[in-house]
Structures are given as C-alpha cells and as structure tokens.
Chain A
Amino acid sequence: DTEVTQTPKHLVMGMTNKKSLKCEQHMGHRAMYWYKQKAKKPPELMFVYSYEKLSINESVPSRFSPECPNSSLLNLHLHALQPEDSALYLCASSQVEDRHTEAFFGQGTRLTVV
C-alpha cells in the first residue's frame, strides 16, 4: 500500500464554518506534510510533522491548525477562513523528514471558501 488518502475530495465552507481535512497513510512513514496549492502554481509547504511532533510551521495563519493524532493520521482544522484560502490542499508523507526521494502525495482536497 503506497497510498496517501485524503478526505474529503472537495469541500465548500463559509467563512464562519469550522471544518477539518484528513490525511491517512499506512506505509509506516514518520513524516507527514501539508501543502497548499493555488491554481496553476507550485505547492507551498505549510506544516511538517516528524514522529507526531510539529517540526515546521511556515508562518501559517492560526486559522489553520494542524494535528497529528497518531503516526498514520494528519488533520488540518480550519476556522474562520477567507476566500483567498481557497486552494488545493495536499498531504504528503515520507519515511522520515525530508526524505523526498521516497515521498508520496495524496490526491488533495479542493477547498472553496465562500
């Protein structure tokens, strides 16, 4: 199993809503990542978790709150988002942090904030 599974695939939320994005992998990877990708742009790193601890926060606004409940799961909690936060949110995992030669990406959650 070399899959990173993200749910939901699509999400529409209002600016006052609270929602969560989920990411799951069962490859035994100990590093997990959140990226944000705007249309026709490359992905931008948001957060990195290593061994279930937050390793990198790329100065992401606090309306995005990551959580790593266990080594297989990564969540991104969303609250009071803005329309400009609409994007494709990609999760990735790798065996250890920064081993990108063995990293896998999920299919993403396409988020629309209205």
Chain B
Amino acid sequence: GEDVEQSLFLSVREGDSSVINCTYTDSSSTYLYWYKQEPGAGLQLLTYIFSNMDMKQDQRLTVLLNKKDKHLSLRIADTQTGDSAIYFCAETAYGNNRLAFGKGNQVVVIP
C-alpha cells in the first residue's frame, strides 16, 4: 500500500494543545482519516477530511491538510487524560479504497 508516515510518541500536559503529524505519499488520496485507539480497545474514527479541503474543525479537533507537502495534522485543544491513546492517520485513494494506515502515534497526557 501507500506509505503513510507518523512520528511515534508525544507527551503533553493536561489542558495544553497536542499536535500529531502524518505524511503520506499518494497524491491521489481521496479521504484522510484520524483514528483513536485506547488501550485494549478497537479503533474509533475521530474525524476525516476530503482531499479538496484544507481544514476541518470538529469541537476540540482541528485537522489541517497541506496537499503540496502531503502533510496531515490533528490538533487536539485542551487535551484531557481521556485523550491518552494511539492515534492512527489513514488514507484512501482513487482506484484503491482500502485504508492505508500510518504506524500510529502514542499520546500520553500528564495530569
């Protein structure tokens, strides 16, 4: 599948903002997704953005998409302890609707 790269670990204090980054290589991406996986649990779709958008905001979550640099980010405002999880970015592309996941980024929120 396509390469989707993520950094591995982020530690953030409760109440601060956290930013998770992801880069992808497929320029024909249709949708880009952010999933959250809490320990011992399944994946929860947090949000997604269509590839013709630059930004999407959903309550505490802000997704930014830079198509030129093939860079996707997720900003979580006012990070809470319940935000501690692994976050995966993923993409689907024209002609290939299978989800291509990044390696995941573990976020640890310090009270």
Could you tell me which A residues sit within 8 Å of B by CB distance? 4, 6, 40-43, 45, 56, 90, 92, 97-98, 100-101, 103-108, 110
Contact = CB atoms under 8 A, between A and B. Distances in A.
Nearest to A103: B45
Q: Interface residues of B: mostly helix, strand, loop or mixed?
A: strand
A61 to B, nearest CB: 19
27 contacts: A4-B42, A41-B103, A41-B104, A42-B101, A42-B102, A42-B103, A43-B43, A43-B99, A43-B101, A45-B98, A45-B99, A56-B98, A92-B43, A98-B92, A98-B97, A98-B98, A100-B45, A100-B90, A100-B99, A101-B33, A101-B45, A103-B45, A104-B45, A107-B41, A108-B40, A108-B41, A108-B42
Interface residues on B, range: 20 to 34
A105 B36 CA distance: 11
Contacts, number: 51
Contacts of B99: 43, 45, 100
A85 to B, nearest CB: 19
B101 A100 contact: no
